[in-house]
Amino acid sequence: MPRLALRFSTQTLLLQLGVVLLVVLLSGTVHAWLVYGRIGAEAENQALTLARTVASDPVIRAQVEAISKEPGTPPATVLAAGPIQAAAEAARGRTGALFVVVTDETGLRLAHPDLVRLGERVSTDPSDALSGKEVTTRNTGTLGPSAGAKVPVFAPGSAASVVGEVSVGYSMESLGQSLAEDIVPIALTAAGSLIAGVLASFLLRRRLQRLTLGLEPEEISTLVHDQVAVLQGVDDGVIGISADGRITVFNAAARRLLGMPEASGTPGSPAATGTDWTGSDWTGTDWESAAVPAQLKALTQPSAHDAEAVEIVAGGRVLVANARKALHRKEDLGWVVMLRDRTELQQLTRQLDAVGTMSAALRAQRHEFANQLHTIAGFMSIGQHGQAKDYLARISATGPLKFPVQQAELLQDPYLQAFVGAKSVEADERGVALRIGPETLVREHVTEPQDVTTVLGNLIDNAVNAAVAGSSTQRWVELELLDEPGPDGGTLHIVVADSGDGLGGIEPEVVFVEGFTTAEPAEVGIARAGGQGLGLALVRQLARRRGGDVRVLEPGSPGGPGAVFMATMPKVTGTPGDAAPAEPSAAAERSAPAERKEGHQ
């Protein structure tokens, strides 16, 4: 059966408990040893004091000197009844000492608690004391282990003539009892420290599990490597916001899509080398104060619906953004905001729409040309050459277009003819007359049809919507185009007016704010996925990137005429030869707006 591996938090807990237990044991042992040493030192000092007291007793000094001068040593019975034994026992009884022993100058006992030992030589070396020195000792004698002291006994009236010594000792068992009395607070302190250490270890374990979400170090390491690989490898922008509202992840793709500068850093740092997957300039920043579009912040509000996607314009791009709540085992980790670039998709859609418009125009022209050729062939076959000549003259005067656009002959560029003609068909279906203004003059050919389609198409669509929604019975949209030749390409000026009710008191600059629309809320909900509220913001960004602009010339008035918009598009016209090596258009770097708007913007 395989051995179950302990979790890292459990291993940490056991290690901490082991360390705490070891520290408590070592501290308790050292404390006990110090206490034992202190008690022993106190016993030695007490024994030394008692020995000095006994050795300085005049009776003891006189009796010891007298016995030392006699040849031999008195019998034990005589010593037992003598004054030295009585004085020593009295001192021992008063102080609780283990023994008080008095010897002569040769080390023979003159007083001893055990009367049988009287007259015998002491079991420990008395030479230091008999040489005039005071010493403290810890040794084992006939009465057991003891801590004591030895003090010389001087002859009466002399401080140099040693006639014997006094040895006093306290039992080590009494020292142990004293230690046992003192060890209780030591044990209580150690137990309290151990309990506090165990509690702190458990709390630290719980905090570690909460901070690591229960993941093991290997899992965290793998997670970090995977996160770095994912955040560096995806083209989608990823922004992580913690539960307390701080930015934790802001990858390079998010900075690029939002048009923000790259993260700064010192040379060699992750930020400087471009591998800063968390975005060091943003990590830790408060989300509400971060310099990101307000629509992104709205996605993370408590009232926001999880996974609700919105389209925003940022950095000249159309982005689809959505936010999801991050949860781990029901724990709120914050929000994850995803940004996806829809610019190329919308640009492709715009190109397909332009191709469709051109195809429809070419089919209509082919059909019209076929009818005209049949008519001419009919005139020729019946010999009506004059009628054929007049018919050709009328065709030359009115131009090739038969779209419902008024004054179409003022447009000479084939692309503009086809595109405006197709738009006139759409407008006519909605009951709006699209006409070309008398001041129109385009002498060169359009070299950037994609950008022109983006701007012109949005302005015409908005104007048609305004005319339909207006209160005037005459529904019309007037378009004037004027080109201005230049050395690097001509500038196309576009003016679009309508019969609608104007901006209705709305500030002109407000209509260019991303997300602004005059459509009804229900209509906004239907059209949001198609880019509602993005058209004018996009065309202005597109024009300004080319060095031009889109602005409101007239706000209009209720009952008509409506608002007048003017767009300036530099470097979009030229001679037919200029269109062949056309550079990638600015529209390829940003998205095309939605084809239709539900309200005038």
> Using one digit for the tens of pLDDT, what is the confidence trace for 191-225?
787 788 778 878 887 887 777 776 777 777 767 66
Name all contacts of 90-93 with Cβ < 8 Å and 24+ positions apart. 91/50, 91/53, 91/54, 91/168
Distance CA 325, CA 285 (A): 19
Spatial CA neighbour of 416 closest among 540, 546, 573, 586: 573
pLDDT > 50? residue 282: yes
Answer yes or no: are the C-beta atoms of 334 and 242 closer than 8 Å.
Answer: yes
Say if residue 508 is preceded by a cis peptide, omega within 30 of 0: no
Token pair, residue 126, equals: 């008395």
Of 56-70, 139-153, 456-470, the poorest mean pLDDT is in 139-153
| Residue 534 Cα distances to 226, 503, 591, angstroms | 36, 17, 10
Token pair, residue 295, equals: 């629509």
DSSP string, 503-517: TTT--GGGGGSTT--
Of 72-81, 284-293, 340-349, the poorest mean pLDDT is in 340-349
Handedness of CA 360, 363, 366, 368 (dihedral sign): negative
How confident is residue 599, by pLDDT bands cut at 50, 70 and 90? very low
Spatial CA neighbour of 276 closest among 297, 260, 293: 260
Mean pLDDT of the 70-78 span: 83
Centre a 10 Å sphere on the Cβ of residue 447 and count the other Cβ atoms it contains: 25
Mean pLDDT of the 589-600 span: 35
Distance CA 236, CA 239 (A): 10
Show the 3-state SS of 52-118: HHHHCCHHHHHHHHHHHHCCCCCCHHHHHCCHHHHHHHHHHHHHCCCEEEEEECCCEEEECCCHHHC
- CA dihedral of 32, 34, 38, 43, whole degrees rounded to 10: 60
pTM over 0.95: no
How confident is residue 2, by pLDDT bands cut at 50, 70 and 90? very low
Answer yes or no: are the C-beta atoms of 570 and 486 closer than 8 Å.
Answer: yes
525 vs 391, which has greater pLDDT? 391
> Using one digit for the tens of pLDDT, what is the confidence trace for 517-558?
655 433 333 232 333 445 787 788 888 888 899 999 999 888
Distance CA 140, CA 430 (A): 123
Handedness of CA 267, 269, 270, 271 (dihedral sign): negative
pLDDT of residue 601: 37
pLDDT > 90? residue 438: no
What does pLDDT average to over the chain?
A: 76
Rg (CA), the chain: 54
What percentage of the chain has pLDDT greater than the value 70? 75
Range 268-288 burial, b when 16+ CB lie within 10 A, else e? eeebeeeebbbbbbbeebebe
Token pair, residue 514, equals: 């991303």
Mean pLDDT of the 54-61 span: 88
Spatial CA neighbour of 465 closest among 517, 403, 526, 522: 517
Of 254-258, 340-344, 388-392, 515-519, the poorest mean pLDDT is in 515-519
